[in-house]
Amino acid sequence: MGFALLFSGQGLQSPAMLPWLDDDAPAVQSLAAHPGTAPAFAMPGGWRASLADADFAGRNAFAQPLLTGLALAAWAQLAPHLPAPAAIAGYSVGELPAFAAAGVFDAGTALALAAQRAEAMDRCAAAQPPTGLLGVSGLTAVALDALCARFGLAVAIRSGAATAVLGGPRPALADAADAARAAGAHATPLNVALASHTRWMQPAAAGFAQRLADVPMLPPRGALFCGFAGARRVAVADLRHALAAQIDHTVRWSDCMDGIAERGVQRVLEIGAGSALARLWNERHPSIPARAADEFRSAAAVQAWLARADA
């Protein structure tokens, strides 16, 4: 019963995201002083103006900690007025705010880890030819695998029967996009400057795993689903492994959605940039309504919509 909480990943960040977020709230103001997020607040107009710069918005070093911080600030604004979520999951870098929301570590740790994760991934990407990500929909799983084999790519995220994110070298992604469109599918390059969740990120995953070994963690409050496993994880050792392994392994998001649905949730809220996760959920589990925080004009409206899950 109750509702599930999903935290968005990277790629759809924009100045219009989270329109109801109170920029004067302490949780937002603290981001202006944090080393990982301060650059986004230094520009006149603050973090929203910074995200209007596509180059800035796509840089891991800024985007990952900023999105982590904004997601947690939004949840801090909502949480006091809501019951605890029945299930929590995060998509890609969204696992960091998801872990914090579940009480595995605090918001400050999530921000620090986001900066370290981005640094490890950028360092890895700098040592190889340019890579990236491509969203593809409208092809079967068999056709997606064939597309990867043909162009030397890898499935970064499995999000549905005919929907996935592919990763690999940029020239190969461009060729794969043309081939997918020729086959009648939709193909959209993502504003992410490396091939997250693929073999190209193996050194980054290994480095991040070493960093996580020293981070104090607690078992999650409630049901926390991890993308690497595509399932709920409780033991701290499993959480550490999953958080690092998702950097260079396929994220099994469709399995996460199915596991959450099996818990009998009545509504699903996505917090972050855009509404991609809510759309994927509604396509896969249309009997359980999902909406994105970006769709609302006030925090009170978000709260009112979620309250109906307990009515």
Query: Among 220, 245, 244, 217, which Cα is nearest to 233's?
Result: 220
Cα dihedral sign, 93-96-98-101: negative
pLDDT of res. 300? 93
Q: List CB contacts of 85: < 8 A, sequence separation 6 or more.
A: 2, 3, 4, 5, 101, 222
Average confidence (pLDDT) over 34-46: 86
Q: Is the pLDDT of residue 87 over 80?
A: yes
Phi, then psi, of 282 in degrees rounded to 5: -65, -30
Confidence of residue 40 (pLDDT cuts 50, 70, 90): confident
Mean pLDDT across the stretch 281-291?
96
% the chain with pLDDT above 90: 78
Name residue, tokens 């929590």. Answer: 88
Contact 11, 190 (CB under 8 A): yes
Q: Report the candidate in 137, 142, 186, 144 with the shortest Cα–Cα distance to residue 168.
A: 144
Q: Indicate the range of 13-22, 36-45, 90-99, 208-217 predicted with least confidence.
A: 36-45
Q: pLDDT tens-digit profile of 228-281? A: 999 999 999 999 999 999 999 999 999 999 999 999 999 999 999 989 999 999
Contact criterion met (CB below 8 Å) for 209 and 244:
yes
Q: Report the pLDDT value the prediction gives residue 59, as an integer from 0 to 100.
A: 85
Q: Average of pLDDT values for 110-123?
A: 95
Contact partners, residue 304, CB within 8 Å, separation at least 6: none
Contact 97, 72 (CB under 8 A): yes
First to last CA, the chain: 11
Residue 61, pLDDT score: 87
Looking at the chain, list the stretches that DSSP marks H as alpha helix, in order from N- to C-terminal side. 26-29, 38-42, 46-51, 54-57, 60-78, 95-101, 107-126, 141-151, 170-182, 202-212, 236-245, 253-261, 276-284, 299-307
Would you state the pLDDT for residue 138?
94
Provide DSSP, 156-195: EEEEETTEEEEEEEHHHHHHHHHHHHHTT-EEEE-S-SS-
Residue 117, Ramachandran bin (φ over 0: left; ψ between -120 and 50: alpha; else beta): alpha
User: Taking Cα atoms as reference points, which of 251, 4, 203, 211 lies closest to residue 114?
Assistant: 211
CA distance 290 to 55: 31
Euclidean distance between CA atoms 132 and 154, whole angstroms = 11
pLDDT class for 1, splitting at 50, 70, 90? low
- Give yes or no for residue 166 having a pLDDT over 70: yes
